[in-house]
C-alpha cells in the first residue's frame, strides 16, 4: 500500500479521500487554491501546498503546478477525485512518465472509453446492447442524412468526445439534423477540442441507470450493483438511489453482467461507472463509461457496505481484489440528495456566498458528505455543491421518510440552496411510486 499520496482536488471529495487515507494509515498532501485557504479539511492533511489563485486553470487544472506539489510533497501517487483532471488522459500519462501512480485507470483505457464511438464498438463486441445508431462517426452532412434515414427519427446527435449531456442535440427531421451537425459540432469542438459527432436513435423518456465497477490490475473485476440517476435538471443529477426501483432481479443481473463484460474487454482497472438508458419496456442500452469515482458513489457504499475509495487505493497500489462477486451483497435502499448553492428564483443559477448558520442533519440512517461549516464561503469559482445527504434504510418507503426528516433538519443560511427542490422531489407521489423518467424535473417542478 502507498504510504503517502497527493490529493489533486478540493471540497467534499478531498475530505472523503483524506478520510479513507487516514483509516488506511496513508499520509496525505493536499493542494489548495487561494480561494480554499480556509477549507476545513486542510487541517486533516499531513501537508498542504498552495498551488495558485482561485481560477481552476491556474490551480486545480494546472498539471505542472500539481506535479511540482507532488515533487515537493514526495508522494507515491495522486488521487484526482472527480472533475478537474480526473478524466484527463494527458495528466494520467504525465503522472506515469514521472513515476507517480495515477489512482485511476491507465491512459490507454481512458482513451478507449473516452471515445464514445470506440466504446460503442467495444460494447457491441462484448455482446452488450447499444442504442441503435451510426456505425462510426458522421463524416459529413450527406452521411448524416443517409444514416438518419436508415435509423429513423427522432435521433440524438452526440459528440464523440462528449459525455454528461454536453454537445448533444435531439433531432426530429432533416432540417434539425443539418443545424445540429453544425452547432453541436462547433460546441463540441470548443468544449472538447474534438467536433466529431455520431448518431443514436432517441430513446423517449428513458431512465438513467449506471453500474458501479471496481477492477484490479490483475484482470479481476467486480460490480457493486446499480444506481438510478434519472432525477436530473439540465444534465445535473439531483437525486440518486440504489437499487433502481423498477428493475426486476433477472434484468438487474443481466445489466450488471453486461457492464462487467465491457470493463473486462477494455482491460480496465480501478473504479468505473457504466451508464445505460432503460426504456419503457425495461430494455437497457449501453451509452457511456465514466472512468472516475463519481459524486454519487456513497449510495453504493451504503447498500454494499464497501468503501470504494479504499478499494481504489488498494487496487492502484497493485493489490489484488480479495473479495469475490458473491461476497458483494446489496442490502436495503439508499438515496442521495445533492445540496447545491442555487437560486430557484433566478433560474437555479449558482448562488455562492458565506454560510452564516450551518446545522447538518444526523441520526439513524443518515450520512452527510460535506466540507461546509459555519463561516465557510461557497466560492463562485467552483461547483456549487455544498453537501450530499445520503440515507440508508431497509425499505424505499423508510428511506424516503428518513430523507424527508433529514432535509427538514438541514439548516444552511442565508444562501439559497436546492434543499426545497429536493424536498419537493422526495415528497412527490410519482417519486414514491418510482414512476419517473428524465423529464420529471422539467414537467413537475
Contacts with ligand MV4, residue ranges (CB under 6 A): 131, 156, 164-165, 200-203, 206, 208, 230, 232, 235, 275, 277, 287-288, 438
Q: How far is the CB of 284 from ligand MV4 (least distance, A)?
A: 12
- Rg over alpha carbons for the chain, rounded to the nearest Å, is 21
Asked if residues 110 and 104 have their Cβ atoms less than 8 Å apart, the reply is yes
Q: Which of 122, 119, 120, 67 is CA-nearest to residue 95?
A: 67
Phi then psi dihedrals of residue 333, to 5 deg: -135, 135
**Closest CB to ligand MV4 among residues 92, 131:** 131
Annotation says 65 is catalytic: no
Taking the C-alpha atoms of residue 364 and residue 107, their distance in angstroms, rounded to an integer, is 41
Asked if residues 391 and 298 have their Cβ atoms less than 8 Å apart, the reply is no
**Closest CB to ligand MV4 among residues 131, 215:** 131
Q: How far is the CB of 185 from ligand MV4 (least distance, A)?
A: 17
Q: How far is the CB of 117 from ligand MV4 (least distance, A)?
A: 13
Q: Which of 369, 363, 438, 344 is CA-nearest to residue 401?
A: 363
Q: How far is the CB of 277 from ligand MV4 (least distance, A)?
A: 6
Beta bridge partners, 199, equal 157
**Closest CB to ligand MV4 among residues 211, 222:** 211
Q: How far is the CB of 260 from ligand MV4 (least distance, A)?
A: 20
- Kindly state the helix (H) or strand (E) to which residue 444 belongs, with its residue range: helix 440-444
**Closest CB to ligand MV4 among residues 275, 296:** 275
Asked if residues 387 and 360 have their Cβ atoms less than 8 Å apart, the reply is yes
**Closest CB to ligand MV4 among residues 231, 293:** 231
Q: Which residues contact 120 (CB under 8 A, 6 or more apart)?
A: 130, 133, 198, 286
**Closest CB to ligand MV4 among residues 39, 148:** 148
C-alpha cell at 183: 452547432
Q: How far is the CB of 233 from ligand MV4 (least distance, A)?
A: 9
Instruction: Count CB neighbours of 381 within 10 A.
Output: 16
**Closest CB to ligand MV4 among residues 29, 188:** 188
Asked if residues 331 and 305 have their Cβ atoms less than 8 Å apart, the reply is yes
> Of residues 120, 227, 261, 292, which has the active-site annotation?
292
Q: How far is the CB of 301 from ligand MV4 (least distance, A)?
A: 22
Q: Is 221 left (phi over 0), alpha (psi -120 to 50) or beta?
A: beta
Instruction: Count CB neighbours of 19 within 10 A.
Output: 17
Q: Which of 311, 227, 231 is CA-nearest to residue 276?
A: 227
Asked if residues 178 and 193 have their Cβ atoms less than 8 Å apart, the reply is no
**Closest CB to ligand MV4 among residues 156, 215:** 156
Instruction: Report the length, in residues, of the chain.
Output: 445
- Contacts of 344-349 spanning 24+ positions with Cβ under 8 A: 344/416, 344/418, 344/420, 344/421, 345/416, 348/233, 348/418, 348/421
Handedness of CA 66, 69, 74, 78 (dihedral sign): negative
Q: Which of 438, 441, 410 is CA-nearest to residue 424?
A: 441
Q: How far is the CB of 23 from ligand MV4 (least distance, A)?
A: 33
Taking the C-alpha atoms of residue 33 and residue 49, their distance in angstroms, rounded to an integer, is 9
Q: What residues act catalytically?
A: 292
Amino acid at each position: 500500500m502507498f504510504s503517502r499520496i497527493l490529493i489533486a482536488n478540493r471540497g467534499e471529495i478531498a475530505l472523503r479521500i483524506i478520510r479513507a487515507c487516514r483509516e488506511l494509515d496513508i499520509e496525505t498532501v493536499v493542494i489548495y487554491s487561494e480561494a480554499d485557504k480556509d477549507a476545513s479539511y486542510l487541517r486533516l492533511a499531513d501537508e498542504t501546498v498552495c498551488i495558485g489563485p482561485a481560477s481552476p486553470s491556474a490551480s486545480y487544472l494546472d498539471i505542472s503546478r500539481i506535479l511540482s506539489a507532488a515533487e515537493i510533497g514526495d508522494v507515491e501517487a495522486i488521487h484526482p477525485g472527480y472533475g478537474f483532471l480526473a478524466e484527463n488522459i494527458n495528466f494520467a500519462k504525465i503522472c506515469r512518465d514521472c513515476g507517480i501512480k495515477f489512482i485511476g485507470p491507465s491512459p490507454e483505457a481512458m482513451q478507449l472509453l473516452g471515445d464514445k464511438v470506440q466504446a460503442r464498438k467495444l460494447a457491441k463486441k462484448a455482446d452488450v446492447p447499444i442504442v441503435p445508431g451510426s456505425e462510426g462517426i458522421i463524416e459529413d452532412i450527406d452521411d448524416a442524412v443517409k444514416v438518419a434515414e436508415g435509423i429513423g427519427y427522432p435521433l440524438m446527435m452526440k459528440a464523440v468526445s462528449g459525455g454528461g449531456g454536453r454537445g448533444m442535440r435531439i433531432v426530429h427531421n432533416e432540417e434539425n439534423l443539418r443545424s445540429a451537425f453544425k452547432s453541436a459540432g462547433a460546441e463540441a469542438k470548443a468544449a472538447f477540442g474534438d467536433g466529431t459527432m455520431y448518431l443514436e436513435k432517441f430513446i423517449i423518456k428513458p431512465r438513467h441507470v449506471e453500474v458501479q465497477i471496481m477492477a484490479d490490475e490483475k484482470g479481476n473485476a467486480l460490480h457493486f450493483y446499480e444506481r438510478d440517476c434519472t432525477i436530473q435538471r439540465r444534465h445535473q443529477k439531483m437525486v440518486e438511489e440504489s437499487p433502481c426501483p423498477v428493475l426486476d432481479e433477472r434484468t438487474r443481473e443481466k445489466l450488471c453482467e453486461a457492464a462487467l463484460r465491457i470493463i473486462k474487454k477494455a482491460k480496465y482497472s480501478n473504479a468505473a461507472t457504466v451508464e445505460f438508458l432503460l426504456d419503457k419496456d425495461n430494455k437497457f442500452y449501453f451509452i457511456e463509461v465514466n472512468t472516475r469515482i463519481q459524486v454519487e458513489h456513497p449510495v453504493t457504499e451504503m447498500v454494499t457496505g464497501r468503501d470504494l475509495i479504499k478499494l481504489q487505493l488498494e487496487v492502484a497500489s497493485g493489490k489484488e481484489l480479495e473479495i469475490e462477486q458473491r461476497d458483494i451483497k446489496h442490502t436495503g435502499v439508499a438515496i442521495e440528495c445533492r445540496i447545491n448553492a442555487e437560486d430557484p428564483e433566478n433560474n437555479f443559477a449558482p448562488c455562492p456566498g458565506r454560510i452564516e448558520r450551518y446545522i447538518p442533519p444526523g441520526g439513524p440512517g443518515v450520512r452527510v458528505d460535506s466540507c461546509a461549516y459555519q463561516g465557510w464561503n461557497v466560492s463562485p469559482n467552483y461547483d456549487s455543491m455544498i453537501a450530499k445527504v445520503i440515507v440508508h434504510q431497509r425499505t424505499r418507503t423508510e428511506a424516503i421518510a428518513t430523507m424527508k426528516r433529514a432535509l427538514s433538519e438541514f439548516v444552511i443560511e442565508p444562501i439559497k440552496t436546492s434543499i426545497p427542490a429536493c424536498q419537493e422531489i422526495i415528497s412527490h407521489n410519482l417519486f414514491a411510486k418510482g414512476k419517473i423518467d428524465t423529464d420529471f424535473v422539467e414537467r413537475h417542478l
